[in-house]
Amino acid sequence: MSGHHLLAGFAEPGELMGAIEKAREAGFSDLEAYSPFAIEGVAEAIGHRPTRIRIVMAVAGVIGAACGFGLQAWSAMVAYPINSGGRPLFSWPAFMLVTFELTVLFAVVAGFVAFILRSGLTKLHQPLFAAPNFHRASHDLFFLRVTVDGDANAARELLKGLSPIVIDEVPA
Amino acid sequence: MSYEAITSEVMNPLLMTRVGRIWWISLLVSLALTVMMVVSILWLFANGIGVWGLNQSNIWGFAIANYVWWIGIGNAGTLISSMLLLTRQRWRASVNRFAEAMTLFAAAIAGLYPILHLGRPWFFYWLMPYPNTMGVWPQWRSPLVWDFFAIASYLIFSLLFWYTGLIPDLATARDRAAPGLRRALYGFMSFGWTGSASDWLRLESFYKTAAAMAVPLVFSVHSVVGLDFAAGLAPGWAETIFPPYFVFGAAYSGFAMVVTLAIPIRWAFNLQGLVTRSHLNVMGKMLLFLSLIMSISYATEWFMAWYAGSEAERDLILFKFFGAYAPYYWLMLACNCVIPLALWVPAVRRTPKLILAVALAINLGMWLERILITTTTPSHGHLPSSWQIYTPTIWDWTLWFGTLGFFTLLFLIFVRLVPFISLHEVKQFDWQRRRA
C-alpha cells in the first residue's frame, strides 16, 4: 500500500458497486471497499481472488481425524491394552466419535486462525482509522479506497463525479 | 429501517442509556444466587458427593440430569445460528447473537456438572489423553470419554463461532463509543477490523463453513449424551431412540429458552422493531413442531416397552405413570405435550406474554424430563431389592438454582457489554429485502 489513499463514502451498496466499475474503467487498479456488512459480488468486482480458507479447514480436518483415530488406535492397542469384556482391542466403531469431534475441532480452529492471520487482524490499529469519516464504515457508509500514485487531483475529480457523501484523505 | 436506525437501536442501549433499576435488581439477585452456587460447590468439595440425595441405586441424580438439561439449552443456540444460516432464514439475524451467547454460557455450566459429580473432581483431567508417568490412557470405549471430547470441542467451537460473528459488531461499538476505557476495550476486542471486502470474504467463507460443520457437531454432542444412558442395559435407558430423542429434546428446551430470553430482552431494550411479532410467531411454530416430535418420542417409548415384551420395561412404564414419581411425570407430559398445543392458535404465537408462558412451561417440562430420565430407571431397575427412591437434598437445589443465577448473571453482563443483536446481518438482510 504505497502512495496516497483517497476514500469516497457512499450511502448504498449499489452506488459503491457503480463506483468500483467507474474507477476501474478510469484505470485505477489498487482498489479496496469497506462496508458495514458483507456485500455479494464486491470482492469479485474489485478483483480479489477467492479465499482459500476452506482448503485450510479441509486439510486441518483430515489431520484432526488422523490424529484422533491414530491416538485412540495406538493407545488402545499398543500403549495401554485393556481387555474389556473380551472385546477386540481395535474396536474402531467406538473410536469414530472422538475422531469426528477432533475433525471438527481442528478444522474450526485452523479456519479461525487462518482468518485472523490472513485478514491482518493482529494489528489493532490501521492507518485508515485516522480518516475523519472512516468510523462510519462500520455503521452506514460504503467506502471505496483508491490508491493515487501520480496526480491526486484527477483521482479527486473522478471520485467527486461519482457524487459520494464524503471524500476523505487517509493521512500518511 | 435505515442503517442509522438499526445501529442506534442496538448501540444506544449499550452505550448511551443508563441501565434501569430492573437490571440492577436482577444483577443483585443473580449475584446472590451465584454466591450460593459457589458455596454449594465448596460444601460439596469439603464433604463429598454424599451431601447430595444420591443413594446406592441413584448414583447420578440432579448433577447428571442438570448437565443434560444445560447442554440441551446450549444446543438450540447453535442450531438456530447454523441451520438457519445455511437455509437462509432471514429472521435468524435478530435472535442468533443471544442464542449463541446462551449456548456458550449453558455449555460451560453443563461442563461443570460432570466434573463436580466425579467425586474426586481434582482428577478430572484424567479424562484427557496425555502422556503420564503411570502410562495410563483413557478408555476409548466409554461414552463418558466421548462426552469429554464432545463437550470440549463444542465449547471451543461455540466460542470461535460466536466471536467470529461478533468481530464486525465490536468494531461498530468501537467506532460509536466515546473515547475512553470502553472504546479501548472494544478496539482491542475487534482486532482492528476495517470491514474491507477481502476481510468480509474470508469471514463469510469461514463462518458458513463452520456453520455447516456445526449441524453434525450439535447432533453428535447430544447423541453422545443420549448414548451415556443408552449404552447400558437398564430398562428405560437401553433404547435405540435415545440419541435422536435427546437431540430433539435439546432443541426443544433450547428454543423455549431462546423465547424465554428474547421476550424480556425485547421488552427491556425496546427492540420491537428488530425482534418482531412475526419472529415470535415463527419460533412458536418451531416449538409446536418440536413438541409434537417429543410427544411421538414418548409414545414410541411406551409402545416399544409393550412391543419388545420385556417384563422390566413394561413394569418401568407402569412405574412412570403410577409409581413414586407419577405426579412429576404427569406434570411433565402436561408441560411438554399438552400446554404447547395452545401454539396451534395464531393469536397465542403472536402475543408475547402467552408465548412466554408456554415457553416457561416447556422449560419446566423439559427439566422434569431430564430429572425423571435420570432417576426413574435406577429407582426401578431389573433388581427389585435395589429399588430406591431419589430425594434431592437442599444442596442439590442450591446448586441447581445457583447455576440458574450464574447463567442469568453472565447474560446480564453480556447484554451490557456486547452488541446483543447481529448488526451486520440485520443490515445485510434489510438491504437484500429492499433490493429484492
- Position B332 pLDDT exceeds 90: yes
* pLDDT tens digits along B261-274: 888 888 877 777 77
Write the residue in A51, A104, A125 that is nearest to B192 by C-beta.
A125
Tell me the three-class secondary structure of chain B, residue by residue: CCHHHHHHHHHHHHHHCCCCHHHHHHHHHHHHHHHHHHHHHHHHHHHCHHHCCCCCCCCCHHHHHHHHHHHHHHHHHHHHHHHHHHCCCHHHHHCHHHHHHHHHHHHHHHHHHHHHCCCCHHHHHHHCCCCCCCCCCCCCCCHHHHHHHHHHHHHHHHHHHHHHHHHHHHHHHHHHCCCCHHHHHHHHHCCCCCCEHHHHHHHHHHHHHHHHHHHHHHHHHHHHHHHHHHCCCCCCCCCCCHHHHHHHHHHHHHHHHHHHHHHHHHHHCCCCCCCCHHHHHHHHHHHHHHHHHHHHHHHHHHHHHHHHCCHHHHHHHHHHHHCCCHHHHHHHHHHHHHHHHHHHCHHHHHCHHHHHHHHHHHHHHHHHHHHHHHHHHHHCCCCHHHCCCCCCCHHHHHHHHHHHHHHHHHHHHHHHHCCCCCHHHHHHHHHHHHHC
Q: What is the ipTM, given to two decimal places?
A: 0.87
- Position B288 pLDDT exceeds 50: yes
Chain B residue with CA closest to A136: the answer is B175
What cell numbers appear for B82 in the block? 447454523
For range A70-96, the mean pLDDT: 87
At residue B1, the pLDDT reads 65
Single pTM value for the model? 0.86
* pLDDT tens digits along A31-69: 888 888 888 887 777 778 888 889 999 999 999 999 999
At residue A1, the pLDDT reads 42
Write the residue in B157, B160, B195 that is nearest to A36 by C-beta.
B195
Chain A residue with CA closest to B11: the answer is A139
Q: What is the DSSP letter of A80?
A: S
Express as a percent the part of chain B with pLDDT over 90.
Answer: 21
Burial of A114 (0-12, 13-18, 19+ CB in 10 A): buried
Q: Give every strand in the sheet of A142-148, ordered side by side.
A: A31-34, A142-148, A4-10, A166-170
CB contact under 8 A, A108 and B210: yes
CB contact under 8 A, B216 and A100: yes
B327 pLDDT tier (thresholds 50, 70, 90): very high
Nearest residue to B419 (alpha-carbon basis) of B88, B189, B155: B189
Which of A1, A10, A24, A35 to mutate against chain B (most B CBs within 10 Å)? A35
Write the residue in A51, A101, A108 that is nearest to B205 by C-beta.
A51
**Which residue bears the cell 474503467?**
A25
Distance in Å, alpha carbon of A154 to nearest chain B alpha carbon: 24
Indicate the SS3 state at residue A146.
strand
Q: What is the mean pLDDT of chain B?
A: 86
Distance in Å, alpha carbon of B198 to nearest chain A alpha carbon: 6
- Position B78 pLDDT exceeds 80: yes
Write the residue in B2, B141, B157 that is nearest to A105 by C-beta.
B157
- Position A110 pLDDT exceeds 90: yes
B17 pLDDT tier (thresholds 50, 70, 90): low
* pLDDT tens digits along B370-413: 999 988 888 888 888 888 888 889 998 999 999 999 999 998 88
What cell numbers appear for A126 in the block? 490501521
CB contact under 8 A, A139 and B172: yes
- Distance (Å, whole) CA B300 – CA B308: 11
Chain A partners within 8 Å of B149 (Cβ)? 97-98, 101-102
- Position B177 pLDDT exceeds 90: no
Q: How crowded is residue B154: how many other Cβ atoms within 10 Å of its Cβ?
A: 29
- Position A81 pLDDT exceeds 60: yes
- Distance (Å, whole) CA B91 – CA B195: 23
Chain A residue with CA closest to B142: the answer is A94
Write the residue in B175, B210, B424 that is nearest to A37 by C-beta.
B424
H or E element: which one contains A107?
helix A92-118
Chain A partners within 8 Å of B152 (Cβ)? 101, 105
